[in-house]
């Protein structure tokens, strides 16, 4: 149980710090820490495969790409000194909307935490923890979703290649020797 | 403090200690073998036949001044070598190096010679290899120097490109081995065909072995794929601004990654600790011999082959190795389906 609180605390604190950082690189690293904590929670929920896949795919591949983008685009530090002195609901448009949304979310969270839980048997999911079972189910019951996901990924890859190629074409010179 | 717990803790400390030692041994082996390949002597002054040279190197590195560039992001600058070294050690935690043993009856039940026997061991190794990219990326970024940034980005791009072929080679072995646990895969390689040929997976997966080894060499930034740390050797790439023990930690991480890749290759393809003439509980000797052979191959390759240029390296990884790995996976799956394993 203490492991649950430990991982949960790390996940919550890291997630909150993600949006509280001025330096975007720190935000990315804190998000990776949050994913690590989530992976620990998956292990506690008896899903080691999902935990490892979370690290491989999310923390190991997607966040590396995020990090590349943040580094190469040289995202600046946020300039927020003036806005921080003003009450959240009086700040310019997007911040005001964000503050109102945060209030709404906190109210919902309190409501969800204080009402009675549903029936314990409401979620009758079969225990799908071993890799063999996941693979079997993935290719039989959820085969359609699997194939559609692969189509989405191919579409994204083709889109990325087309966008990257178009830039170097209009530039005229060859791509930088990177 | 049951004897089992003491044995587990002792095993963990032993593995940690042996990894550190292996890095030191690799330093010596690399210099000596490089020298002999280049027809010169190599270290021979410090200790008999130069065997204490790694000790001298460590002492020198410890006494060097620890530099930190003023414009560097101090937290990430200090964190990067820690991430590299920690991931290198962590990957070895799920690698078994011997059969179950009771240490000559001192323990009531046998323990596996493996720090943690998780049943998704192969994926854990892959996951930690993915995480070790961050050490290099952060080192390149936090040094706040153009050469470091470029070197770090190139090196990490190379690593994530070759991770794909690495994973597909692993997947091919998984189809044959029928399990994600390294202990099970090694135990599936015991026994002989026709009483002569051992049932190693390298005979079933020769192409897979070559793909795995090539991708492993590229993952550890070694041998013909060390462009990111060699071309800028004049300027040194992502570890330009590091000195003393931080630099030592990067190189420690590199050597231990080499050892891990060799150890995993031994377990997946070369039968782990199984071998003739020795009883089961001395299997770790065979494991050591096989890992040592692969490490020698690593060093041999470095000092024999010229290195790839960066664009050649990326072309090779994406256009040659990846399709080959996919085809290997398909052929393996078809073979298993047809012949049945």
The CA-based diameter of chain B, rounded to the nearest angstrom, is: 67
Distance CA(B215)–CA(B172), nearest Å, equals: 14
Residue A126 has pLDDT above 80, yes or no: no
Q: Are residues A5 and A68 in the same domain?
A: yes
A7 belongs to a structural domain: yes
Best B79, B82, B119, B134 residue to mutate vs chain A (most A CBs within 10 Å):
B134
Q: What is the pLDDT of residue A175?
A: 45
Interface of A with B in 12-41 (CB under 8 A): 25, 29, 32
B35 belongs to a structural domain: no
Look-up: residue for tokens 């996951």?
Answer: B127
Question: How many alpha carbons fall within 13 Å on the CB side of residue A170?
Answer: 5
Last residue of a domain, one of A54, A76, A98: A76
Last residue of a domain, one of A12, A42, A76: A76
Confidence bin at A68 (pLDDT 50/70/90): confident
The parent domain of residue B265 ranges over: 67-339
The nearest alpha carbon in chain B to A68 belongs to B153
Least confident residue range of A61-65, B77-81, B110-114, B309-313: B110-114
Are the Cβ atoms of A49 and B120 closer than 8 angstroms?
Answer: yes
Residue B48 has pLDDT above 90, yes or no: no
Q: Are residues A1 and A72 in the same domain?
A: yes
Contact assessment for residue A101 and residue A89, using Cβ atoms and an 8 Å cutoff: no
A158 belongs to a structural domain: yes
The CA-based diameter of chain A, rounded to the nearest angstrom, is: 65
User: Residue B290 has what DSSP assignment?
Assistant: H
Are the Cβ atoms of A53 and B123 closer than 8 angstroms?
Answer: yes
Contacts of B126 in chain A (CB under 8 A): 52, 56
The phi and psi torsions of B179 (rounded to 5 degrees) equal -160, 155
- What is the overall mean pLDDT for chain A? 80
Contacts of A61 in chain B (CB under 8 A): 130, 160, 163
B243 belongs to a structural domain: yes
The answer to whether ipTM exceeds 0.90 is no
B60 belongs to a structural domain: no
Q: Are residues A2 and A72 in the same domain?
A: yes
Burial of A85: CB neighbours in 10 Å, binned 0-12, 13-18, 19+: exposed
B131 belongs to a structural domain: yes
Q: How many Cβ atoms are within 10 Å of B99's Cβ, its own excluded?
A: 22
Q: What is the pLDDT of residue A107?
A: 92
Q: Are residues A64 and A2 in the same domain?
A: yes
A28 belongs to a structural domain: yes
A110 belongs to a structural domain: no
Burial B171-205 (b: 16+ CB within 10 A, else e): bbbbbbbebbbbbebbbbbbeeeeeeebebbbebb
A107 belongs to a structural domain: no
B111 belongs to a structural domain: yes
Distance CA(A29)–CA(A26), nearest Å, equals: 5
Q: Tell me the pLDDT tens digit for each residue of B177-197.
A: 888 888 888 888 887 777 778
Distance CA(B203)–CA(A123), nearest Å, equals: 47
Interface of A with B in 62-101 (CB under 8 A): 64, 67-68, 71-72
Q: Give the pTM.
A: 0.86
B152 belongs to a structural domain: yes
DSSP string, B20-53: HHHHHHHHHHHHHHHHHHTTS--S-SSSGGGTTH
Contact assessment for residue A25 and residue A70, using Cβ atoms and an 8 Å cutoff: yes
Domain total in chain A: 2
Q: What is the pLDDT of residue B104?
A: 67
B14 belongs to a structural domain: no
Q: Are residues A64 and A1 in the same domain?
A: yes
Q: Are residues A70 and A6 in the same domain?
A: yes
Residue A127 has pLDDT above 80, yes or no: no
The parent domain of residue A58 ranges over: 1-76
Domain total in chain B: 1
Residues 6 or more apart from A144 whose CB is under 8 A from it? none
A120 belongs to a structural domain: no
B201 belongs to a structural domain: yes
Q: Tell me the pLDDT tens digit for each residue of B257-301.
A: 999 999 999 999 998 888 887 777 788 888 999 999 999 999 999
Greatest mean pLDDT range, B29-38, B39-48, B73-82, B136-145? B29-38
């Amino acid at each position: 149980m203490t492991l649950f609180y430990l991982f949960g605390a790390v996940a919550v604190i890291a997630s909150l710090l993600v949006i509280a950082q001025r330096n975007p690189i720190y935000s990315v690293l804190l998000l990776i820490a949050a994913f690590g904590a989530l992976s620990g929670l998956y292990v506690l929920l008896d899903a080691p495969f999902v935990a490892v896949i979370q690290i491989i795919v999310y923390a190991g591949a997607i966040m590396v790409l995020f990090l590349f983008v943040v580094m190469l685009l040289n995202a600046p530090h946020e300039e927020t000194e003036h806005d921080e002195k003003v009450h959240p609901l009086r700040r310019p448009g997007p911040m005001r909307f964000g503050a109102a949304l945060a209030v709404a979310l906190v109210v919902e969270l309190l409501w969800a935490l204080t009402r009675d839980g549903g029936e314990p048997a409401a979620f009758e999911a079969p225990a799908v923890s071993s890799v063999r079972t996941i693979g079997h189910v993935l290719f039989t019951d959820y085969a359609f979703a699997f194939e559609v996901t692969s189509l989405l990924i191919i579409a994204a890859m083709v889109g990325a290649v087309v966008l990257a190629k178009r830039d170097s074409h209009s530039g005229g010179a060859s791509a930088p020797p990177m | 403090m049951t004897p089992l717990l003491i044995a587990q803790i002792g095993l963990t400390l032993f593995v940690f200690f042996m990894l550190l030692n292996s890095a030191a041994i690799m330093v010596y082996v690399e210099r000596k073998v490089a020298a002999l390949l280049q027809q010169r002597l190599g270290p021979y002054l410090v200790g008999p036949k130069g065997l204490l040279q790694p000790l001298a190197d460590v002492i020198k590195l410890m006494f060097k001044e620890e530099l930190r560039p003023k414009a560097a992001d101090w937290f990430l600058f200090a964190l990067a070598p820690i991430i590299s070294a920690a991931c290198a050690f962590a990957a070895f935690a799920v690698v078994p190096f011997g059969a179950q043993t009771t240490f000559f009856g001192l323990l009531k039940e046998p323990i596996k010679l493996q720090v943690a026997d998780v049943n998704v061991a192969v994926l854990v190794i892959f996951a930690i290899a993915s995480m070790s990219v961050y050490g290099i990326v952060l080192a390149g970024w936090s040094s706040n120097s153009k050469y470091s940034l470029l070197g770090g980005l190139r090196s990490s791009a190379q690593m994530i490109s070759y991770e794909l072929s690495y994973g597909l080679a692993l997947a091919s072995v998984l189809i044959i081995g029928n399990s994600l646990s390294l202990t099970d895969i090694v135990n599936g390689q015991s026994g002989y065909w026709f009483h002569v040929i051992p049932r190693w997976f390298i005979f079933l997966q020769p192409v897979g072995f070559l793909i795995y080894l090539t991708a492993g060499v590229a993952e550890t930034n070694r041998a013909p794929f060390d462009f990111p740390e060699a071309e800028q050797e004049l300027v040194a790439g992502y570890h330009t601004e590091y000195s003393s023990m931080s630099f030592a930690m990067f190189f420690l991480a590199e050597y231990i990654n080499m050892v891990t890749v060799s150890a995993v290759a031994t377990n997946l393809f070369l039968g782990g600790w199984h071998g003739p003439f020795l009883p089961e509980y001395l299997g770790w000797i065979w494991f050591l011999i096989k890992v040592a052979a692969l490490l020698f191959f690593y060093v041999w390759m470095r000092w024999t082959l010229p290195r790839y240029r960066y664009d050649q390296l990326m072309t090779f990884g994406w256009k040659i190795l990846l399709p080959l790995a996919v085809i290997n996976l398909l052929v393996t799956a078809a073979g298993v389906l047809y012949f049945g394993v």
